[in-house]
């Protein structure tokens, strides 16, 4: 059962709604901005209406199936880990885009909303909002915006880890955080490398 649910969640996460919405207006969002086929590039390419729809659908594919599985009692405890990780993995490595998917931020919000009944996702949203405000002081108009955002996401996950420890969440939640952190770090590694190279290194 766990294997089947994990496969189903991976497939659900791999559905690239934002990319497909872009195609409806004849725009390949992979050619815009940082090339990410996700909801935020859809926002830049098609405006806030389609952007919000993309964010909502990406959130929903991380939240809705997982919430149903958890609330119905199909999975619990450590069984949640592979099932909850699967939609994040599916979005990052979508077979619909030759395993070159998106950053999985909206999907991550959906997963944590399902697993912690919105508690951790709200904290994560507040953290990213604060980082967004602070980062404006360090951004030039278009300089390193994507790199700073990538760093904020990864650092935000580190703060979430501290929050989980303070709130004494169970070990399976900590394990889920670890896998989520590894995946987001992997997906943002190039942007973070560029940021640190420009800030602290010289070629």
Q: How far apart are CA 42 and CA 36, in angstroms?
A: 9
pLDDT digits (tens, 9 = 90+) for 71-110: 999 999 999 999 999 999 999 999 999 999 999 999 999 9
Q: Are 90 and 10 in contact (CB under 8 A)?
A: yes
Q: Which residues of 133-165 are buried (b: 16+ CB within 10 A; e: fewer)?
A: eeeeeeeeeeebbbbbbbbbbbebbebbeebbe
Domains of the chain: total: 1
Closest CA to 30 of 20, 17, 41, 14: 41
49 against 87, higher pLDDT: 87
Percent of the chain with pLDDT over 90: 70
Q: How far apart are CA 151 and CA 196, in angstroms?
A: 10
Overall average pLDDT of the 10-38 stretch: 91
Overall average pLDDT of the 178-199 stretch: 84
Overall average pLDDT of the 115-137 stretch: 91
Domain containing 102 equals: 2-200
Q: Is 120 left (phi over 0), alpha (psi -120 to 50) or beta?
A: alpha
Could you tell me the pTM of the whole model? 0.90
Q: Is the model's pLDDT at 65 over the cut of 80?
A: yes
Q: Is the model's pLDDT at 200 over the cut of 50?
A: yes
151 against 62, higher pLDDT: 62
Provide the 10 A C-beta neighbour count for residue 185: 15
pLDDT digits (tens, 9 = 90+) for 128-172: 999 888 877 665 544 557 788 888 899 999 999 999 999 999 999
The pLDDT score that the predictor gives to residue 199 is 64
* Torsion sign, CA atoms 71, 127, 21, 53: positive
- Average per-residue pLDDT in the chain? 90
């Amino acid at each position: 059962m766990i294997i089947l649910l994990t496969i189903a969640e991976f497939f659900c996460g791999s559905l690239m709604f934002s990319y497909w919405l872009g195609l409806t207006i004849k725009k390949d969002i992979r050619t815009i901005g940082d090339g990410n086929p996700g909801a935020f590039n859809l926002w830049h390419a098609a405006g806030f209406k389609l952007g919000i729809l993309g964010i909502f659908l990406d959130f929903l594919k991380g939240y809705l199936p997982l919430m149903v599985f958890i609330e119905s009692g199909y999975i619990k405890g450590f069984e949640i880990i592979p099932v909850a990780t699967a939609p994040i993995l599916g979005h990052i490595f979508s077979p619909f885009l030759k395993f070159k998917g998106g950053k999985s931020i909206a999907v991550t919000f959906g997963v944590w909303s399902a697993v912690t009944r919105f508690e951790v996702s709200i904290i994560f949203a507040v953290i990213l909002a604060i980082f967004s405000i602070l980062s404006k002081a360090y951004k030039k108009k278009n300089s390193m915006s994507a790199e700073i955002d990538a760093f904020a996401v990864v650092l935000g996950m580190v703060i979430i880890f501290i929050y989980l420890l303070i709130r004494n969440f169970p070990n399976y939640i900590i394990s889920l955080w670890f896998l989520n952190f590894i995946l987001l770090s992997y997906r943002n590694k190039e942007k973070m490398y560029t940021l640190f190279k420009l800030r602290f290194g010289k070629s």
